[in-house]
Amino acid sequence: MQNIGELIRTLREKEGYPLRKVAAFLDIDQAILSKIERGQRKLSKEQVIKLADFFNYNEKEMLITFLSDRIMYEIGDEDYAKEALKVAEEKIEYLKTRK
C-alpha cells in the first residue's frame, strides 16, 4: 500500500520524468518534490489534482490516497483511531442524508 509520495515517485519513474520536470509543472523546487516523494513534505489537494492530470492517473484514486494519508498522519497514533474512523464514517453518511 503506497502513500501519496510513493505513488508520485512510482508514476514519475514509470514515465521516465526527472524530478525537475514534475517540479517545474507544480512550480516548486525539485528538492521539495523529492521531500514529498519521501514523505517529508505534504502536498495540497490542488497539487494532487494537478498531478493526477499530469500523469493521466485516476483523480479519485489519487485523492483517496492523499486523503487517507492525511487521516493516518493526523490520528494514526491515537489509541482509538479505528473506532473514531468508524464513527466519522457514520457522521459522514448522516450529513449526506441531510443535504
Q: With beta carbons less than 8 A apart as the criterion, state whether 86 and 97 touch.
A: no
Q: With beta carbons less than 8 A apart as the criterion, state whether 84 and 91 touch.
A: no
Instruction: Compute CA distances 62 → 3, 11, 31, 50, whole Å.
Output: 10, 11, 22, 10
Q: What is the pTM of this model?
A: 0.87
- Which pLDDT value is given to residue 1? 83
Would you state the torsion angle of the CA atoms of residues 6, 3, 58, 49, taken in this order, to the nearest 10 degrees? -90
- What are the residue boundaries of the structural domains of the chain, listed by start? 4-98
Q: Name the DSSP letter for residue 90.
A: H
Q: Place domain 4-98 in its CATH homologous superfamily.
A: lambda repressor-like DNA-binding domains (1.10.260.40)
pLDDT for 24-38, tens place per residue? 999 999 999 999 999
The grid coordinates of residue 48 equal 494532487
